[in-house]
Amino acid sequence: MAALDATRVSEAFASDNYAGAHPEVLNAMVDANVGFAGAYGADPWTARLGEVARRHFGEASEVFPVFNGTGANVIGVQSLVPKWGAVICAEGAHLATDECGAPERVGGVKLLTVPTTDGKLTPELVERQAWGLEDEHRARPSAISVTQATEVGTVYAPEDLRALADQAHGLGLWVHMDGARLANAAAHLEVTLGALTSEAGVDVLSLGGTKNGGLFAEAVVVLNPDAVQSIRYLRKMDTQLASKMRFLSVQLLALYEGDLWLRSARHANEMAARLATALADIDGVRVTQATQANGVFATFPEGVVEAVREQFSFHEWSQETGEVRLMCSFASTSEDVAALVAAVREAVG
């Protein structure tokens, strides 16, 4: 079969999901494709992944590989709340805006959202929804969910997370983290994965793999066993239990057993920082959010979005403000960045 001529620069900034799988991940999958191995996680790769998870997140942690981030998020919050429970999250959180209602429709979990300016929850914002804990007429707030990095590319520092966890636990609430881009946040802050999760008081983590070079691999990582309910059954019931689990586990092993997760995230962040700096130098272009992970958010002068879109694919984040989102990945190059910046300059020109 002839190789397909995939697009390159034109799609480079649409999403970190547009990037292919990292070669080291693909090689690891090929290496795992040998002989027979136990199904449903009874294989040596999944056992090794458990050891890696405990190294990163502490001896109490347990890892449950799943197919995708939606599944990880639904199972994660579902495991933390009773049938009458609710989860507090940012209004723009992926959990609330990009899961097609799955947490509520599949997981049966009510979401209580609060507006934010930078995508981040604070204890003050949580207070807006953390009431009526004994009111039988209201879904009971039972957990909070934070997105790391946020949907607008900002990150929670360890002290931010600790303040939220202390507040939540003081109210009898658990803490879930959507860590689809956890690696990018850790790379930006130059801290360990544990510093942003188990050490900061997070109870359950949705650990990202796909956006950082995986093919189809995420995981639910239980950091606090006392917080969860029947997670093994939830994974099966929510159609996220892989029979040939070794091929999920080995992808996460390729990322997290060594430093591939960090190398890939650092590169994506570096490309985003380079792009943000160059765009901010162009008259009329305004970078609207702090570029802390691998996303750049900006507004362009009138007519520029349409002109640049003739060459590049990217998302319009807000029709109201004209803000756009430009995402970088492990596969982005300095040439990609230069080409986009040149196109913007020419359109402004």
What's the pLDDT tens digit per position in 106-136? 999 999 999 999 999 999 999 999 999 999 9
If one counts every other C-beta atom within 10 angstroms of the C-beta of residue 134, the result is 7
125/235 Cα distance (integer angstroms): 31
> What's the CATH number where 297 sits?
3.90.1150.10
3 within some domain? no
Mark which of 195, 222, 256 sits at the end of a domain: 256
Answer whether 272's CB lies under 8 Å from 293's CB.
yes
Residue 45: pLDDT over 70: yes
pLDDT tens column, 62-115: 999 999 999 999 999 999 999 999 999 999 999 999 999 999 999 999 999 999
Enclosing domain of residue 119? 23-256
Residues 247 and 292 in one domain: no
Domain count, the chain: 2
Residue 4: pLDDT over 90: no
The residue written with tokens 């009431």 in the block is: 131
pLDDT tens column, 148-202: 999 999 999 999 999 999 999 999 999 999 999 999 999 999 999 999 999 999 9
Residues 42 and 142 in one domain: yes
If one counts every other C-beta atom within 10 angstroms of the C-beta of residue 50, the result is 15
Residue 66 is encoded by which pair of tokens?
A: 């799943």
Mark which of 222, 256, 290 sits at the end of a domain: 256
The residue written with tokens 């050891």 in the block is: 51
Residues 245 and 264 in one domain: no
Residue 11: pLDDT over 90: no
Residues 234 and 112 in one domain: yes
Residues 226 and 270 in one domain: no
Q: What is the pTM of this model?
A: 0.94
113/134 Cα distance (integer angstroms): 19
Mark which of 230, 256, 282 sits at the end of a domain: 256
Q: Name every residue whose Cβ is closer than 8 Å to that of residue 164 and which is 6 or more positions away in sequence.
A: 121, 122, 123, 126, 144, 146, 156, 175, 201
Question: Which band of pLDDT confidence, cut at 50, 70 and 90, is reported for residue 249?
Answer: very high
Residues 252 and 273 in one domain: no
> What's the CATH number where 178 sits?
3.40.640.10
110 within some domain? yes
45 within some domain? yes
